[in-house]
Structure 1
Amino acid sequence: MKHRAVKRRSVVVGIGATAGAAAVGGITLTAQAGGRTGGASSASDALVFDEDGYTTLTTTVTDAAGDGHEVTYRFWKAITYVTEPVDEKYQSLNISVPVRIDGKAVDATGAPILFANSVGGYMPASVADATGVGGGAMGGGTGGSAAPSAPAAPSASSSSSDTESGSSAQLSGGKMVSLPQLGLAAGYVVVEPGARGRTLKNSEGEYYGTAPAAVVDLKAAVRYLRANKGRVPGDVDRIFSTGTSAGGALSALLGASGDSPIYDKYLKEIGAADASDAIFATGAWCPITDLEHADGAYEWCWGTNKLSTGKQVDQTVSRELRSQFAEYQAGRKLRGLGGYGTLTARNYDEYLLTTYLRPSATTYLAALSETDRKTYLAKNTFLRWDGEKATFTWTGFLTHVGARKKDAPAFDLFPLPTDTSDTMTGDINNEFGLGTAPFRHFTLYSLRKDRGNSARPASDIPEKLRLMNPMYHLVDKPNPGRTRHWWIRLGTADSDTSLTVSANLAAAADQLGDDVNHLYYWDAGHGANEDAGDFIAWIAKTSGYKAA
Structure 2
Amino acid sequence: MKHRAVKRRNVVIGLGATAGAAAVGGIALTAQASTGTAGSKSKKASDSLVFDRDAYTELTTTVTAVDGSEKEVTYHFWKAITYVANPVDVEHQSLVVSVPVTIDGKAVDATDAPILFTNSVGGYMPANVSAATGVGQAAMEMGNTGAPGASASASPSTSASPSPSASAPGGTGPGGGGGAGGGVPNLAEIALAAGYVVVEPGARGRSLVDADGVYYGTAPAVIVDLKAAIRYLRANKGRIPGNTDRIVSAGGSAGGALSALLGASGDSPLYDKYLKEAGAADASDAVFASAEWCPITDLEHADGAYEYCWGTSATRSGSQVDQTVSKDLKSQFATYQASLKLKGINGFGPLTAANYDEYLVETYLQPAAAMYLKSLSDSARSAYLAKNTFITWDGDKATFTWDGFVDHVGTRKKSTPAFDAFDLSAGENNLFGTGTTKARHFTLYSLRHEGSSSARLADDIPELLNLMNPMYFIKKRNPGRSKHWWIRVGTNDTDSSPVIVGNLAASLYGIGDDVDSLMYWDAGHGANNDPAAFLDWIADVSGHKK
Tell me the TM-score range normalised by the shorter chain: 0.7 to 0.9
- Choose the corresponding residue for 2:316, options 297, 303, 308: 308
Alpha-carbon distance between aligned partners in 2 of 1:14 and 1:135, rounded to the nearest angstrom: 19
2:36 is matched with: 17
- Choose the corresponding residue for 1:69, options 64, 71, 75: 71
User: Which structure 2 residues correspond to residues 474-513 of structure 1 after superposition, within 5 A?
Assistant: 474-475=474-475, 477-513=476-512
Cα deviation, residue 51, structure 1: 0.7
Cα deviation, residue 46, structure 1: 2.6
Alpha-carbon distance between aligned partners in 2 of 1:134 and 1:349, rounded to the nearest angstrom: 38
Alpha-carbon distance between aligned partners in 2 of 1:443 and 1:169, rounded to the nearest angstrom: 33
Question: Any idea what SS the aligned residue of 1:47 has?
Answer: coil
Alpha-carbon distance between aligned partners in 2 of 1:501 and 1:44, rounded to the nearest angstrom: 42
Q: Deviations over 1:64-95 (max 9, x none)?
A: 11100000000001100000001010000000
Cα deviation, residue 451, structure 1: 1.2
2:126 is matched with: 124
- Report whether the alignment pairs 1:268 with 2:267: no
Pair 169,220 (structure 1): closer, same or farther in 2 beyond 3 Å: closer
- Choose the corresponding residue for 2:330, options 317, 322, 326: 322
Pair 209,527 (structure 1): closer, same or farther in 2 beyond 3 Å: same
User: Which structure 2 residues correspond to residues 416-431 of structure 1 after superposition, within 5 A?
Assistant: 416-417=424-425, 426-431=426-431
Q: Deviations over 1:404-448 (max 9, x none)?
A: 00011100011223xxxxxxxx10000000000001000000000
Structure 2: 5+ residue stretches without partners: 1-30, 39-44, 146-151, 156-162, 165-169
- Choose the corresponding residue for 1:150, options 156, 168, 171: 171
Alpha-carbon distance between aligned partners in 2 of 1:152 and 1:500, rounded to the nearest angstrom: 20
Alpha-carbon distance between aligned partners in 1 of 2:52 and 2:347, rounded to the nearest angstrom: 50
Alpha-carbon distance between aligned partners in 1 of 2:390 and 2:203, rounded to the nearest angstrom: 44
- Report whether the alignment pairs 1:529 with 2:531: no
Cα deviation, residue 327, structure 1: 0.2
Residue type of the partner of 1:17? G
2:115 is matched with: 113
Check the 8 A contact 1:151/1:177 in 2, yes or no: no
Pair 64,171 (structure 1): closer, same or farther in 2 beyond 3 Å: farther
Q: Deviations over 1:198-218 (max 9, x none)?
A: 000100000000000000000
Cα deviation, residue 176, structure 1: 4.0
Alpha-carbon distance between aligned partners in 2 of 1:350 and 1:72, rounded to the nearest angstrom: 49
Q: Deviations over 1:164-216 (max 9, x none)?
A: xxx998584xx442000010000000000000000001000000000000000
1:336 is matched with: 344
Question: Any idea what SS the aligned residue of 1:451 has?
Answer: coil
Check the 8 A contact 1:114/1:190 in 2, yes or no: yes
Alpha-carbon distance between aligned partners in 1 of 2:517 and 2:174, rounded to the nearest angstrom: 24
- Report whether the alignment pairs 1:470 with 2:470: yes
Check the 8 A contact 1:76/1:95 in 2, yes or no: yes
Question: Any idea what SS the aligned residue of 1:200 has?
Answer: coil
Cα deviation, residue 231, structure 1: 0.0
- Choose the corresponding residue for 2:243, options 235, 239, 249: 235
- Choose the corresponding residue for 1:408, options 385, 406, 416: 416
Pair 206,15 (structure 1): closer, same or farther in 2 beyond 3 Å: closer
2:289 is matched with: 281
Alpha-carbon distance between aligned partners in 2 of 1:169 and 1:342, rounded to the nearest angstrom: 37
Residue type of the partner of 2:209? K
Identity score, percent:
64
Cα deviation, residue 141, structure 1: 3.6
Check the 8 A contact 1:44/1:274 in 2, yes or no: no
2:306 is matched with: 298
User: Which structure 2 residues correspond to residues 353-372 of structure 1 after superposition, within 5 A?
Assistant: 353-372=361-380
Cα deviation, residue 292, structure 1: 0.2
- Hey, which bits of structure 1, 4+ residues long, moved more than 6 A? none
Q: Deviations over 1:460-491 (max 9, x none)?
A: 0000000000000001x110000000000000
- Choose the corresponding residue for 1:219, options 214, 227, 240: 227
Question: Any idea what SS the aligned residue of 1:373 has?
Answer: helix
2:448 is matched with: 448
Question: Any idea what SS the aligned residue of 1:151 has?
Answer: coil
Residue type of the partner of 1:438? K
Alpha-carbon distance between aligned partners in 2 of 1:62 and 1:202, rounded to the nearest angstrom: 41
Question: Any idea what SS the aligned residue of 1:46 has?
Answer: coil
Alpha-carbon distance between aligned partners in 2 of 1:485 and 1:378, rounded to the nearest angstrom: 40
Cα deviation, residue 151, structure 1: 1.6
Alpha-carbon distance between aligned partners in 2 of 1:153 and 1:334, rounded to the nearest angstrom: 28
Check the 8 A contact 2:173/2:525 in 1, yes or no: no
Alpha-carbon distance between aligned partners in 2 of 1:112 and 1:246, rounded to the nearest angstrom: 23
- Choose the corresponding residue for 2:62, options 60, 69, 81: 60
Question: Any idea what SS the aligned residue of 1:513 has?
Answer: coil
1:163 is matched with: none
Alpha-carbon distance between aligned partners in 1 of 2:144 and 2:89, rounded to the nearest angstrom: 11
CA RMSD of aligned residues (A): 2.0
Alpha-carbon distance between aligned partners in 1 of 2:515 and 2:174, rounded to the nearest angstrom: 27
Alpha-carbon distance between aligned partners in 2 of 1:534 and 1:375, rounded to the nearest angstrom: 28
Cα deviation, residue 289, structure 1: 0.1
1:382 is matched with: 390
Question: Any idea what SS the aligned residue of 1:345 has?
Answer: coil
Q: TM-score, normalised by structure 1?
A: 0.87
1:89 is matched with: 91
Residue type of the partner of 1:450? E
Check the 8 A contact 2:139/2:154 in 1, yes or no: no
Check the 8 A contact 2:32/2:60 in 1, yes or no: no
Q: TM-score, normalised by structure 2?
A: 0.87
Q: Deviations over 1:336-387 (max 9, x none)?
A: 0001111000000000000000000000001110100010011111111111
Alpha-carbon distance between aligned partners in 2 of 1:342 and 1:327, rounded to the nearest angstrom: 14
Residue type of the partner of 1:503? G
Pair 345,213 (structure 1): closer, same or farther in 2 beyond 3 Å: same
Question: Any idea what SS the aligned residue of 2:450 has?
Answer: helix
Alpha-carbon distance between aligned partners in 1 of 2:453 and 2:179, rounded to the nearest angstrom: 52
Question: Any idea what SS the aligned residue of 1:269 has?
Answer: helix
Alpha-carbon distance between aligned partners in 2 of 1:465 and 1:119, rounded to the nearest angstrom: 18
Check the 8 A contact 2:270/2:467 in 1, yes or no: yes
Check the 8 A contact 1:116/1:242 in 2, yes or no: yes
**How many residues are matched?**
490
Alpha-carbon distance between aligned partners in 1 of 2:179 and 2:123, rounded to the nearest angstrom: 23
Question: Any idea what SS the aligned residue of 1:273 has?
Answer: coil
Pair 50,63 (structure 1): closer, same or farther in 2 beyond 3 Å: same
Cα deviation, residue 44, structure 1: 12
Pair 171,537 (structure 1): closer, same or farther in 2 beyond 3 Å: farther
